[in-house]
Amino acid sequence: MSFWHALGQTLRGAAEGFIRTGKQIMGASAQVIRKVVETARDSLDEVVRRIQRARGDANSEKEVVERQLQEVNARIARLRKNHQQNGALTGREQEEWKRLKARRDQLIDDLQNLDTAEFAQDVVDEASEYKTREVTEADAHLIDMVTGQSTYGKRCRACSRAMVLQWERRAAAPSLRDFFWGCSGWYVKLANGRSACTHTERLADADFRIFANVKRPEFQVTATELSRRVLDPGRQKRLREALDGIREQNRTSSVGISQYRCPVHGESLRLRRKNATADELLDEYFLGCPQWLPERLGCNFLIKLKSPGRISAVISEGYGQDAMKVLDA
């Protein structure tokens, strides 16, 4: 583990003070940007080269780590089952439980480092495309698209777990004032069924200043235009086909959509579709944890694709630069 530990230390040092959500940095002051570009060019660039020399590309390495994580989670689930059946764990099982939990934390850490390395790689490769942008109501979708995605560098004041961008559930197409930071401890259920933490925070003005690759398709449209495209009844068939394509890929691959991870198990989420066929595309699909089991026996963490931004974000992850072709015409 020494290689990953060293990598983690370097990245953490370099990325201190940044809030990264998915593929963008929030709260980007000129000073922060200078630091990002500098560190990306120097230390992070070097780290990425080291990964490539030592281990091949970050993507396949992520797959290896993710598979190890799945194994660890499966073993933890087996111990939980033993506990339920026998009322207690044996001394040896307790030892194993502790070891597995520590191993899981380590693997989740490795995945976060790999995600950061990948982001750094993109900043280095596409330096001229990275710009700061002040998000206004007209492009509220830029925030909507990263809601539910893994966030680094934004910790809960109450419990220090990672915070995740959310929006007021009543809003169909969220506007800027509907967004807030919610603690990921909300999804961690205690024995009494309550959430481990329910802390929320409003977004600071600075959070609307983002640093991102503006070549990405979503930067070419307004929030209104994106909503129109996603909600247009004439496009629903095409969008469902596109989403089903991603769903099929998630089903057969050992990795899901890596911008979204379960806050408990750390695994990348998989795109799924509700059994009941809805008339409307909103709320028909969701991202679920691979540790899900029927009858609430497994992990119930899920992210509903209930807004045009979230649907576009998943299509964007699945199709990259071709995402707008799916949403076009």
Residue closer to Zn ion (CB basis): 268 or 316? 268
Length of the chain: 329
Nearer to Zn ion, 83 or 199 (CB): 199
- Selected from 147, 213, 227, 291, the binder of Zn ion by CB under 5 A is 291
Q: Which of 65, 197, 210, 313 binds Zn ion (CB under 5 A)?
A: 197
Beta carbon nearer to Zn ion, 19 or 281: 19
Region near Zn ion per CB under 5 A, out of 90-98, 178-186, 215-223, 306-314: 178-186
Please name the residue that has the structure tokens 């040896």: 92
Binding part of the chain for Zn ion, among 54-62, 129-137, 292-300, 317-325 by CB under 5 A, reads: 292-300
Site for Zn ion in 62-81 (CB under 5 A): none
155 binds Zn ion per the rule CB under 5 A: no
Smallest distance from the beta carbon of 272 to Zn ion, in angstroms?
13
Residue 153: CB minimum distance to Zn ion, A: 15
The single residue among 79, 89, 159, 302 that binds Zn ion, judged by CB under 5 A, is: 159
**Residue 257 binds Zn ion (CB under 5 A):** no
Q: Which is nearer to Zn ion, 242 or 289 (CB)?
A: 289
Residues in region 262-281 near Zn ion by CB under 5 A: 262, 264-265
By CB under 5 A, residue 312 contacts Zn ion: no
Cβ atoms of 22 and 146 within 8 Å: the answer is yes
Q: How many residues bind Zn ion (CB under 5 A)?
A: 15
Q: Mask 111-150, x = binds Zn ion (CB under 5 A)? A: ----------------------------------------
Contact between 185 and Zn ion per CB under 5 A: yes
- Which range touches Zn ion (CB under 5 A), out of 14-22, 33-41, 91-99, 298-306? 298-306
Q: Is the four-CA dihedral 226, 228, 234, 240 of positive or negative sign? A: positive
Q: What is the 3-state secondary structure (H, E, C) of the chain?
A: CHHHHHHHHHHHHHHCCCEEECCEEECCCHHHHHHHHHHHHHHHHHHHHHHHHHHCCHHHHHHHHHHHHHHHHHHHHHHHHHHHHHCCCCHHHHHHHHHHHHHHHHHHHHHHHHHHHHHHHHHHHCHHHEEEEECCHHHCHHHHCCCCCCEECCECCCCCCEEEEEECCCCCCCCHHHEEEEEHHHHCECCCCCECCCCEEECCHHHHEEEEECCCHHHHCCHHHHHHHHHCHHHHHHHHHHHHHHHHHHHHCCCCEEEEECCCCCCEEEEEECCCCCCCCCCCEEEECCCCCHHHCCCCCEEECCCHHHHHHHHHHHHHHHHHHHHCC
Residue of 65, 142, 156, 230 interacting with Zn ion (CB under 5 A):
156
Q: Does 299 bind Zn ion (CB under 5 A)?
A: yes
Contact criterion met (CB below 8 Å) for 302 and 286: yes
Supply the minimum distance, in Å, between the C-beta of residue 161 and Zn ion.
5
Q: Cα–Cα distance between 66 and 199 in angstroms, integer?
A: 29
Told to check if 301 binds Zn ion by CB under 5 A, we report yes
Residues that bind Zn ion (CB under 5 A): 156, 158-159, 161, 183, 185, 197, 199, 262, 264-265, 289, 291, 299, 301
